[in-house]
Amino acid sequence: TQLLEQSPQFLSIQEGENLTVYCNSSSVFSSLQWYRQEPGEGPVLLVTVVTGGEVKKLKRLTFQFGDARKDSSLHITAAQPGDTGLYLCAGGFRFSNTGKLIFGQGTTLQVKP
């Protein structure tokens, strides 16, 4: 069974603090994606990383793909209440004939003003 383990599952912090969410697996992925989901809506893609060691930045969010392509992290600098939501990582396989992404359990982030 291919699993993606996210940690922590729940995080409550004050505005202005930094945080890191981790996504780990024993499987090697061809790509790793991060989605963000707000209440009442479906997940929306934030970023895709495909190269081991790759780092991508999206404003205050920094995403990193592990060198072995088995893990990833999401770091948020100076969190704001608008960052509140559910963050999901998802691993994909090259030319996957199963046609699916493997999703982590999600990390619920609450940023208090």
Q: Residues interacting with other proteins, by CB under 8 A?
A: 6, 9, 30-31, 33, 40-45, 48, 50, 88, 90, 92, 94-96, 98-101, 103-106
* C-alpha–C-alpha distance, residues 54 and 69, integer Å: 9
CB of 33 to other proteins, least distance (A): 7
By C-alpha distance, which of 84, 94, 103, 86 is closest to 5? 103
Task: Report, in Å, the least distance between residue 59 CB and other proteins.
Answer: 20
- Smallest separation, CB 15 to other proteins (Å): 25
- As beta bridge partners, residue 111 has 13
Contact assessment for residue 29 and residue 93, using Cβ atoms and an 8 Å cutoff = yes
Compare residues 16 and 52 and give the one whose CB is closer to other proteins: 52
Closer by beta carbon to other proteins, 54 or else 73 = 54
Instruction: Compare residues 28 and 78 and give the one whose CB is closer to other proteins.
Output: 28
Cβ neighbours, 10 Å, residue 42: 7
Q: Is 26 helix (H, G, I), strand (E, B) or coil?
A: coil
In whole angstroms, give the CA distance from residue 39 to residue 84: 10
**Minimum separation from the CB atom of position 77 to other proteins (A):** 25
Residue number, 15 or 67, with CB nearest to other proteins = 67
